[in-house]
Structure formats: C-alpha cells, structure tokens
Amino acid sequence: MAGALDLGWIVPSGRLQRGRDAIPLAAGLALQGMDVRQLQLAKGAIAAGIHLLCRARGGSPADLRRVFLAGAFGNYVRIAAAARIGLLPVDAAIVAPAGNTALLGARLALNDDDHGYAGIRAMVRHVELKVEPSFDDAYIDAMAFPSAHIAG
C-alpha cells in the first residue's frame, strides 16, 4: 500500500486512482478497492488507539521517544511502510521490534521470587512442542476441518 500511495495509484482517501480497478501484485494476484478498505479499517483502529492512549497520558504520538512492536507483527512489519500508510503515527526512526513480549513477561514473572510466584513456578512444566516426537502427527491431524459441527 505504501508503494501504491507513493506511485499515486491510491489516493489519500483510499480510493484507487481513476481508471484503475485493481493494483497488480503478481501474475493472477491484485489488490482490489475492498482490500485497501480492509487495511484502512485495521490501520485506522491501531492509529486511533495510539492517539487515544497518548492523549490519556496527556500527550500525543509526537511526544513518544520509543515505540516497541511486539510479536510476529513487530518482527516482520516494514516499519517505514507502516509509518507511510499512517499505521504508526510516529517517526519510523523511534520504532523497534520487541520480539515475543508475552513469553518474556511470563519468564520474568516466573523467575520473580519477590511477588509470590514460587507456587505457580512449582506447577509449571515446559513442553517444547518442536522437539515433542508426536507433534508432527498431531499437527497434521489438526489441520483437517471436521466433517460435521462438533458441539461444545
């Protein structure tokens, strides 16, 4: 989308440039106006959330000194493109991927002896699925759709 904006194929309202009914990406693959609209809806929600969170703290996105993007999104998003389309209403230079922050938070909590996590830690068993011998078979079995609705 960022490239299409830069090329003038999409106008700031999100409409495709006059005379264009799609944006070709590859053989047999093109972005339609509906695709652009879906991105607008998602990026609008994220950008609005950033603005509102900043406002709740008495500031604006321009006041942010650092923005961390978590999870796979943060690791794989093109930060400059996300800033270009307005997904991240901040200078791309202050944005950085943060990796799997949920896992990091869980690790920090479970290794914290000062806040009563010892009991939880005693119950936790780490299961590394990628080395579990039966994982591949279970994974393949789970990919199929059920033949009928399964209640509950």
Mean pLDDT (whole number) for 63-82: 89
Neighbour-count burial of 77, counting CB atoms closer than 10 A to its CB (0-12 exposed, 13-18 middle, 19+ buried):
middle
To the nearest whole number, what is the mean pLDDT of the chain? Answer: 84
- List of residues 6+ apart from 4 with CB closer than 8 A: 10, 23, 31
pTM: 0.66
- In this predicted structure, what is the pLDDT of residue 146? 62
- In this predicted structure, what is the pLDDT of residue 93? 92
124: left (phi over 0), alpha (psi -120 to 50) or beta: beta
- In this predicted structure, what is the pLDDT of residue 129? 78
The predicted-structure confidence for 10-69, as pLDDT tens digits, reads as follows 888 888 998 889 999 999 999 999 999 998 988 888 888 888 888 888 988 999 999 998
- In this predicted structure, what is the pLDDT of residue 131? 84
- In this predicted structure, what is the pLDDT of residue 57? 83
Residue 140 has pLDDT above 60, yes or no: yes
Backbone angles phi, psi at 95, to 5 degrees: -100, 135
Angle CA 128–108–114, to nearest 5: 130
Backbone angles phi, psi at 70, to 5 degrees: -95, 160
